[in-house]
């Protein structure tokens, strides 16, 4: 099987680098100038500087060439996925969604947007692009409803330093990846506002309870949220300023500017979650949605959460 990684952001580039250590990989970049720069420099200086491309990593800007591969890793921004799917026929392809979040327009996750693809899987879990590109040990979840396809992909996409764990619970895996970004914004806001690490631990824990509660109502397996795609990714994203979601939260908490050109998947996901937050008692998610849209500040969000009726854990 041949592999193309579609999307030359930091994470897509990191995946292409580590997978090209095993054999030929194509990395597709939408911007032809960006593609030419990477071809000449043999690195992605714009998005992941300092990581030299292996010899088997080929860069292209022609989407039709990239789509010739039998396995497509879609490392596109979540809010760009629906438009990409509408423009290209993926019906005979094995497609692995590597984006985390919910579509702002439809409220759908990656797997349901890719329903017309031949075979669909989701790659998610605790990982920073720089760690993967440097060859640091990383473990991720590969979710695929078809067990045989999942097994084949697990073998093909695992490397000496990237270990994949397999599940058939696609819903649980992608919900974990989407919701943890929302909670990470809240945790960053707590720290940016100087509310302390105890408050961050409390918010992370109660946010995790919301993740589990919503996932259960949507048919996910509880064990999935306890694994890499849920708890593991939550811990990483809520405790490191390498996370763009966490950094956005820090800026909101501190009243500091944040570069609008930086993609922060959790901000759109929080807004997409609003109808579900109202139906399923998700106060942390609801507070983050209000925070990112400027309807409340951090002090108001904390006051609202602390004023909720006392209850059993």
Contact 145/170 with Cβ under 8 angstroms? yes
Provide, rounded to the nearest whole percent, the portion of the chain with pLDDT above 90.
100
Q: Is 180 a catalytic residue?
A: yes
Taking residues 267-273, report their average pLDDT: 97
Give CA–CA dist 95/107, Å, rounded. Answer: 20
In the prediction, which pLDDT does 49 show?
Answer: 98
Contact 249/188 with Cβ under 8 angstroms? yes
Taking residues 112-125, report their average pLDDT: 96
What residue segments make up the domains of the chain, in order of their start? Answer: 3-168, 172-306
* pLDDT single digits (tens) 72-111: 999 999 999 999 999 999 999 999 999 999 999 999 999 9
In the prediction, which pLDDT does 1 show?
Answer: 78
- CATH no. of 172-306: 1.10.1040.10
pLDDT of 269 over the 90 cut: yes
Taking residues 236-250, report their average pLDDT: 97
For residue 132, count CB atoms less than 10 angstroms from its CB and return exposed for 0-12, middle for 13-18, buried for 19 or more.
Answer: buried
Taking residues 212-229, report their average pLDDT: 96
In the prediction, which pLDDT does 14 show?
Answer: 98
**In degrees rounded to 5, what are phi and psi of residue 126?**
-75, 110
Look up the pTM and report it.
0.96
In CATH, the architecture of 3-168 is: 3-Layer(aba) Sandwich (3.40)
Nearest CA among 286, 281, 304 for reference residue 183: 286
- Active-site pick, 22, 100, 180, 311: 180
For residue 268, count CB atoms less than 10 angstroms from its CB and return exposed for 0-12, middle for 13-18, buried for 19 or more.
Answer: buried
In the prediction, which pLDDT does 299 show?
Answer: 96
Q: Mean of the per-residue pLDDT values for the chain?
A: 97
In the prediction, which pLDDT does 43 show?
Answer: 98
């Amino acid at each position: 099987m041949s592999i193309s990684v579609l999307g030359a952001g930091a994470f897509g580039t990191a995946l292409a680098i580590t997978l090209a250590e095993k054999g030929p990989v194509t990395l597709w970049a939408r911007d032809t100038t960006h593609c030419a720069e990477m071809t000449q420099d043999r690195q992605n200086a714009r998005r992941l500087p300092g990581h030299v491309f292996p010899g088997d990593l080929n860069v292209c800007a022609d989407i039709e060439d990239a789509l010739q591969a039998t396995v497509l890793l879609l490392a596109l921004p979540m809010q760009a996925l629906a438009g990409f799917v509408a423009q290209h026929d993926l019906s005979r392809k094995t497609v692995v969604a590597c984006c985390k979040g919910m579509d702002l327009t439809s409220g759908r996750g990656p797997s349901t947007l890719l329903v017309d693809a031949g075979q669909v899987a989701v790659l998610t879990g605790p990982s920073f692009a720089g760690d993967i590109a440097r060859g640091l040990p990383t473990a991720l979840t590969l979710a695929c409803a078809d067990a045989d396809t999942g097994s084949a992909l697990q073998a093909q996409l695992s490397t000496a330093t990237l270990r994949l764990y397999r599940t058939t619970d696609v819903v649980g895996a992608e919900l974990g990846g989407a919701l943890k970004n929302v909670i990470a914004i809240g945790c960053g806001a707590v720290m940016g506002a100087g509310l302390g690490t105890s408050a961050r631990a409390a918010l992370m824990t109660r946010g995790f309870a919301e993740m589990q509660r919503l996932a259960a109502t949507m048919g996910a397996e509880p064990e999935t949220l306890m694994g890499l795609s849920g708890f593991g990714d939550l811990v990483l994203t809520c405790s490191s300023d390498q996370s763009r979601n966490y950094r956005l939260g820090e800026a909101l908490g501190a009243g500091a500017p944040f570069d609008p050109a930086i993609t922060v998947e959790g901000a759109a996901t929080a807004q997409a979650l609003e109808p579900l937050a109202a139906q399923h008692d998700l106060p942390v998610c609801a507070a983050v949605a209000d925070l990112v849209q400027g309807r409340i500040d951090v002090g108001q969000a904390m006051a609202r959460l602390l004023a909720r009726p006392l209850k059993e854990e």
